[in-house]
Amino acid sequence: MPEAVSICVIGSGYVGLVAAVCFAEMGHRVVCVDKDEAKINILREGGVPIFEHHLPDLLAKHRGRGVEFTTELAAAVERSEVIFIAVGTPQGDTGAADLSYVEAVVSEIARDLSGYKVIVEKSTVPVYTNEWIRRVLSRHRVDAGHFDVASNPEFLREGTAVSDFLHPDRIVVGAGTDRAAELLKRIYAPLTSGSYYTRADALKGSCTLEKPARLLLTSAQSAEIIKHASNAFLAMKISFINAVANLAGAVDADIEDIATGIGMDSRIGSRFLKAGLGYGGSCFPKDVAAFTYVAQQQGLDFQLLEEVQRINDAQRDVFFKKVESALWTLRGKKLAALGLAFKCDTDDIRESPAMDVIQRLLEAGARVTAYDPASIERAREKMPPSEILTYAADPYEAARDADALLILTEWKEFGELDLPRLGRTLKFPIVIDGRNMYRPELMAEHGFTYVSMGRPDSQSTEVGSAKKKIL
């Protein structure tokens, strides 16, 4: 087995917590640091502050053994060979990433640094952040021989973050010295050698001993750009397919067939070619804006990314207009909304298209009953229950006597509803699907008026026959 490395992870959010637990799973000794005492106490006592598959099991397995949690940064830094910075980099008013949390952490590290350490950017940061970290350390009079700065961006998807970490498409390490590069290679050796995948208790996934994880060694600047460029490209694919969906809907074509045909081209691939309400969450909106800002700072006009953002924002308008068209007026209508999270398999509602659509419906005078399998509590904090907004315990409670059902997040269970029961529960059999969870012909067979994205609207066969007789 590769030699264990002593690691400090600063930050216990999605990236930091997943990284800390997965490093422990790989056999390293990890200390996860956060200033939030309440969160640290939850983690120490066996709680899991975020919704993420496999995370509860791995926390139970390694808590107090391979990974420990603390608010004491100085002691954690002293014990560690490598320090991963995984704090928030929220979007500022200009679109640029706010790096104040990163700077504050680096300043605190500088006060406690003794002996050689590798300081690693794990947060998503703009290019040249590694150079600014060096400058901050130098301003605090830290000996240049006592540290190296490296970039090791994460490529984790909420809901599958643990699997993504342990079975990655690629591991990117941006390091300016051989010493730093070798230490980071040691950390990831269980994955790149394939030794982790031979363990009986290893999490199963796409990587194996014969097909281990791949590591790409670059400069720190290249690694920083790889992260932003990757997210920007995926966001572009989403906006592209939504733009095509709007065309398809206008000419009675089917975006699902079109996406299948496009995705069969091996140069393009089928992933992220799903028409819907657009992207959301904590990464894509922020990273596209930050990447655009970085380009502008270098005197470059990245018009492509500006258009990606414009299409994404407009996609929610497209869906809202579909709701208006199906229901004529919204004031006084009772609507069932399935989905609050920005995507399935997470409880994250940050920049959620679903939340934005619900807010617009309420402002238009509708009453909404919402349901989500994981994010109701988070939604309650942002949008408390009221006379016009309530939360249901299941999809059918949400649908009771509603004028229409709206599907806003692509949870698997929303694509497996008992359609006869749903038809009996709704006041009117109208489903407006922002995620294309059903085939139009199936919904028509079950008596629904069905509106989706980039496909012709369908009505029940009875309604269709009646229209023909009237004509």
Active site residues: 283
Measuring CA to CA, which residue among 243, 221, 86 is closest to residue 161? 86
What six digits make up the tokens of 333? 């209508």
Q: How far is CA 215 from CA 72, 90, 100, 182, 332, in A?
A: 32, 28, 30, 12, 57
Give 357's contacts (C-beta < 8 A, 6+ positions apart): 277, 316, 319, 320, 337, 406, 408, 434
What six digits make up the tokens of 394? 């299941």
Q: Between β-strands 6-10 and 334-338, what pairing exists: parallel, antiparallel or unpaired?
A: unpaired
User: Which pairs count as long-range contacts for 305-314, CB under 8 Å and 24+ apart, including other chains?
Assistant: 305/232, 305/236, 307/239, 308/232, 308/235, 308/236, 308/239, 309/239, 309/285, 311/239, 311/242, 311/243, 311/278, 312/235, 312/238, 312/239, 312/242, 312/278, 312/279, 312/285, 313/278
Could you write out the DSSP letters of every residue in 126-152?
-TTHHHHHHHHHHHTT--GGGEEEEE-
Measuring CA to CA, which residue among 160, 168, 174 is closest to residue 190? 168
Give 164's contacts (C-beta < 8 A, 6+ positions apart): 155, 156, 157
Contact 354, 341 (CB under 8 A): yes
Contact 430, 326 (CB under 8 A): yes
Contact 438, 457 (CB under 8 A): no
Interatomic CA distance for residues 423 and 335, integer angstroms: 14
- Residue 277's identity, in one-letter code, is L
Contact 399, 239 (CB under 8 A): no
Interatomic CA distance for residues 83 and 287, integer angstroms: 23
Contact 417, 436 (CB under 8 A): no
What six digits make up the tokens of 377? 């509590």
Q: Where are the beta strands (DSSP E) in 14-116?
A: 29-33, 67-70, 82-85
